Amino acid sequence: MENNNKYTIDKLNQIISIAEDGKEGYENAAENVKNVSIKNSLIYISGERSAYASQVRQIVQQINGEAEDEGGGAVGTLHRLWIDLKSVLTSGDTDAILNACITGEEAAIKEYKSVLEDDEIHESYKPLIREQLHGIELALANIKLHVSQ
């Protein structure tokens, strides 16, 4: 049971890290777009990611685990995607910024689905993960609407 608990904590910490990386990525993106509507959307999504991290952090603490600190970065691939966003930001190209956000969201969706499909993760944690996944999918759809065609 102890090994399963550690495994679960590690997986939940990955979710926390994903949410924290997304929060930071969206904050940076919002600072670098000029369109007020898009800026507001990005700020809203950043706030959602902060809430997601807090929700999962509470679960980790309830099962006596040590939750990932604010700041994210434990999931290397996703962290690198959001770092790539930072390099795009200097261009000021809104479509490039939004496309970097799309890439980050697609990677987050993949990670969330992986946790949901993992039979070693207790079913009682999955409704929250599903709810957050749904929010990420909605955010992705919203971002795609803002990209120029």
pTM confidence score: 0.86
Question: What is the domain-level CATH number for residue 66?
Answer: 1.20.1260.10
Distance, CA of 149 to CA of 141 (rounded, Å): 14
DSSP state of 75: S
Q: What is the pLDDT of residues 38-84, one digit of tens each?
A: 999 999 999 999 999 999 999 999 998 888 666 554 454 555 565 56
Q: Name the domain count of the chain.
A: 1
Q: Give me the domain span that covers residue 109.
A: 2-146
Q: Give CA angle at 140 (99, 128), nearest 5°.
A: 140
